[in-house]
Amino acid sequence: MNELELVERIRRRAAKARNLVLGIGDDCAIYQPAAGEQLLFTTDLLIEGVHFLRETHQPSDCGWKALARGLSDIAAMGGRPRFCLTSLALPGWATTRWAERFYDGLFELARLQKTVLVGGDLARAETIVCDVVVCGSVPEGQALRRDGARPGDAIYVSGLLGGSALGLAQRRGPAFRRHLRPEPRLKLGIALREKLKVTAAMDLSDGLSLDLHRLCVASGVAAELDGDLPLWPGATLDQALHGGEDYELLFTLSSSTRPPRQLAGVPLTRIGTIVGGRPGVVRLGGRELPLAGFDHFRNPQKPAAGR
Amino acid sequence: MNELELVERIRRRAAKARNLVLGIGDDCAIYQPAAGEQLLFTTDLLIEGVHFLRETHQPSDCGWKALARGLSDIAAMGGRPRFCLTSLALPGWATTRWAERFYDGLFELARLQKTVLVGGDLARAETIVCDVVVCGSVPEGQALRRDGARPGDAIYVSGLLGGSALGLAQRRGPAFRRHLRPEPRLKLGIALREKLKVTAAMDLSDGLSLDLHRLCVASGVAAELDGDLPLWPGATLDQALHGGEDYELLFTLSSSTRPPRQLAGVPLTRIGTIVGGRPGVVRLGGRELPLAGFDHFRNPQKPAAGR
């Protein structure tokens, strides 16, 4: 199968959408924005040996995860996914059969989350590299941002933490399935935007310690964690604090807001309080947390892991 | 420098734009579409050893070219560029200094073409991989597409062909500069959309023979080339037909349209006629041309070249 044939097969599987004027097959896709719509854009790399391992991740898991990363960013801003574009570079050993199974996983998640594939690029490379762009939309001015947390706000997370890191260590069981096929919290993100007075929000992709630090830097505040984190069964505090890829939502609420115990079917747990002080500092039990989450350029020698 | 610091440096250099609500630094960028605007999306990979060589391409040339590829797709549809997102994966030998020089070239072209960088992703990889998404816009329903060519239409190209392939072979002189820093034909694309009755258009990225084949497949027609192609001085007919990366525009006009000799400062040359027949067939002097342009999956063993 050559490149034109593979593109044609992918094109035939791609769904249509109301606002999509033109999908795969021309120089660009064409999208007709709706009135009052603001568009969200995010792009995420998925690289063999860095974000996944060939031994542990099926091609369809890679396709699922490549899209899930971007959808989680859309969820973090309270958006509805609209469309995505996928760039995929394959080494010689990866056949077009590999590519088709990759798209199996991607289309499976896309169907579940009502996202359509509208374009992309294909190339050869030494290792598998994928980059997925996702576009989502929110009503004008209503996106949940990172920069609105204020001292006194309560800090919450959805779901359980540390499951993905535990799964990567165990390579079996429910935690591993969670690691392989993370579920972007799109319904929750929309419910947070519509129902609660969220002051700041983001998704947990690189670990609570690093991601909360980022939220605090963006908002110009510091944070005190309670230490009573909602741990995935069997996960350690270290995995919950510094393990990445839980893809839960981290958000802050003004102190007057009383959220329900669960929203959109996902439990919500208060884990701390926003405080004044040096922007970005995160304390647990009075001690400043190290920034031990994942940083590609600070931890280049870290053994290849699923992140 | 760690990942957060590099992102911060890039963020400070990124320009602002009227319709950009939020740029680099949150989970997503936020864009406010204007009334009556349709948005164009394209994504292009740039991979070391496939699309460029470390020995011949400076980091700033890579940044220029990574963006130029997407801008050329926007030009092909008659769009104005609005914003871009850049995913960049770097091996251990490439320092953050390399990354900063890459962004020098990217920002240089972005400034010239009024495009702003609104987001992206960074990661480690075994070789340099970059993926750039560009968003452009056109007035509703006015995008130039590939699928409208009809028998009897005249086929045109802008500029001269074969320069990029010649430059890659020579590795010096004006043709090589053209290869390293292609100029997306954005002003020409807009002028074609506004001033001429274009029936189909696309950009020449993989070689005239393969790209005209694609235009003909999309339009369900065939093509006869005159053989009198506008050659770059010193380029062979083979380089003009099958060499890629000229980033000129290929377009068709209804037979009643008489275009000027040049438009937006670029010469236009009639090179053939759209005819009926098996869709996708391209003939030159009565003989069917082979599809010798670049196909990543048909030519995986082709020596690394700048494409």
Q: For position A66, which CATH number holds?
A: 3.30.1330.10
pLDDT at B4: 77
Q: Could you tell me if A133 and A161 lie in one domain?
A: no
Determine the Cα–Cα distance for residues B307 and B296; give it in Å rounded to an integer.
10
Q: Does residue A138 contact residue A73 with C-beta atoms inside 8 Å?
A: no
A7 & A59 share domain: yes
A15 with A75, same domain? yes
Residue A2 pLDDT: 77
Task: Look over chain B and give the mean of its residue pLDDT values, rounded to a whole number.
Answer: 93
Residue B272 covered by a domain? yes
In whole angstroms, give the CA distance from residue A247 to residue B190.
Answer: 42
Place of tokens 């999908």: A23
Is residue A78 domain-shared with residue A133, that is, in the same domain?
yes
The verdict on a CB contact (< 8 Å) between A43 and B85 is yes
Q: How far apart are alpha carbons A103 and A107 in whole angstroms?
A: 6
Pick from A258, A262, A146, A271: nearest CA to A208: A271
pLDDT higher than threshold 70 for residue B218: yes
Q: Read off the pLDDT band of B119 (50, 70, 90).
A: very high
Q: Look at A92-96, B41-45, B140-144 and tell me which has the smallest mean pLDDT.
A: A92-96
Q: How far apart are CA B266 and CA B185, in angstroms?
A: 9
Give CA–CA dist A16/A238, Å, rounded.
44
- Of B104, B139, B174, which closes a domain? B139
Say if A201 falls within a structural domain.
Answer: yes
CB A168 within 8 A of CB A236: no
The b-or-e profile of A260-298 (16+ CB within 10 A means b, else e) is eeebbebebbebbbbeeeeebbbebeeeebebebbbbbe
A123:B47 CB<8 A: yes
- Least Cα distance to B110 among B231, B17, B214, B195 occurs for B17
Q: Is A138 helix (H, G, I), strand (E, B) or coil?
A: strand
**Does the pLDDT at position B296 exceed 70?**
no
Place of tokens 């899930």: A68
DSSP category for residue A167: H
Please report which confidence band the pLDDT of residue B291 belongs to, taking 50, 70 and 90 as the band edges.
confident
Q: Name A263's bridge partners.
A: A266
Does residue B135 register a pLDDT over 50?
A: yes
| Whole-number Å distance between alpha carbons of B180 and B64 | 8
Q: What tokens appear for B5 in the block? A: 């610091």
Is B101 a domain residue? yes
Structure tokens at A175: 């935690």
Closest approach of chain A CAs to the CA of B209, in angstroms?
14
pLDDT (0 to 100) of residue A280: 96
pLDDT averaged per 10 residues, chain A (length 307): 84 93 95 96 95 92 97 98 97 90 97 96 93 98 97 98 96 95 97 97 96 96 94 96 96 95 98 97 93 62 38
pLDDT of residue A5: 85
Instruction: Identify the DSSP state of A52.
Output: B
Could you count the other beta carbons within 10 Å of the beta carbon of residue A208? 28
Please give the residue range of the domain that contains residue B30. 3-139
| Domain co-membership, A8 together with A121 | yes
CA max distance for chain A: 60
CB contacts of A120 in chain B (<8 Å) are: 43
CA distance A74 to B54: 36
Q: Which residues contact A96 (CB under 8 A, 6 or more apart)?
A: A1, A5, A6, B297
Looking at the structure of chain A, the number of domains it has is 2
Predicted pLDDT at B306 = 38
Which token pair is A46?
A: 């998925």
A143/B44 touch (CB, cutoff 8 Å), yes or no: no
The reply to whether residue A39 touches residue B33, judged by beta carbons under 8 angstroms, is yes
Asked if residue B222 lies in contact with residue B300, where contact means CB atoms within 8 angstroms, the answer is: no
Q: Please tell me the predicted confidence (pLDDT) of residue A26.
A: 94
Q: Which of A242, A241, A127, A13 is nearest to B50 (CA)?
A: A127
In 3D space, the residue among A279, A155, A273 whose CA is nearest the CA of residue A217 turns out to be: A279
pLDDT (tens digit per residue) in B278-287: 999 999 988 9
pLDDT, tens digit (0-9, with 9 covering 90-100), for B184-204: 999 999 999 999 999 999 999
Supply the pLDDT for residue B302.
41
Quick one: which of A186, A22, A206 has its CA closest to A109?
A186
Identify whether B149 is part of a domain. no
Which tokens is A125 given? 């490379």
Whole-angstrom distance, CA of residue B77 vs CA of residue B251? 10
Radius of gyration of chain B (CA): 20
Output the pLDDT for position B304. 36
Domain finish residue from A139, A167, A195: A139
Range list of β-strands (E), chain B: 20-22, 29-31, 37-47, 80-90, 116-124, 129-139, 154-158, 198-203, 222-225, 249-253, 262-263, 266-275, 282-284, 287-288
* Residue ranges of E strands in B236-295: 249-253, 262-263, 266-275, 282-284, 287-288
The CATH number given to whatever domain includes residue B275 is 3.90.650.10
Q: For B23, which residue in chain A has the nearest alpha carbon?
A: A41
In a domain, B11, yes or no: yes
- Residues of A with CB below 8 A from B45's CB? 87, 89, 121, 123, 129, 131
In a domain, B304, yes or no: no
B64 and B88 in one domain? yes
- Name the closest residue on chain B to residue A219, using Cα atoms: B26
Same domain, B22 and B48: yes
Q: At A60, list the tokens.
A: 């369809």
> How many other CB atoms are found less than 10 A from the CB of residue B16?
8
Residues B117 and B185 in one domain: no
- Say if residues B82 and B17 touch (Cβ distance below 8 Å): yes
pLDDT value for B10: 94
Distance from CA of A121 to the nearest CA of B (A): 6
Q: Which amino acid is at A119?
A: G
Question: Can you tell me the mean pLDDT for B118-130?
Answer: 94
Task: Kindly give the interhelix angle for B96-112 and B3-13, rounded to the nearest 10 degrees.
Answer: 20
pLDDT of residue A3: 78
Structural domain ending residue among the three candidates B106, B139, B172: B139
8 Å CB contact of B41 and A135: yes
The tokens of B2 are what? Answer: 């760690």
Determine which helix (DSSP H) or strand (DSSP E) holds B157, and give its type and residue range: strand B154-158
B51, B129, B296: residue with CB nearest A122: B296
Phi/psi of residue B115, each to 5°? -115, 140
Question: Which residues does residue A156 pair with via DSSP β-bridges, in sequence order?
Answer: A251, A270
Residues A190 and A84 in one domain: no
The two three-digit tokens of residue A161, written as one number: 């933490």
Residues A38 and A134 both lie in one domain: yes
Q: How far apart are CA B164 and CA B176, in angstroms?
A: 7
Claim to verify: residue B94 and residue B166 sit in the same structural domain: no
**Residue linked to tokens 């996983």:** A105
Residue A122 is predicted with a pLDDT of 93
**B165/B278 same-domain check:** yes
User: How many Cα atoms sit within 13 Å of B286 on the Cβ side?
Assistant: 0
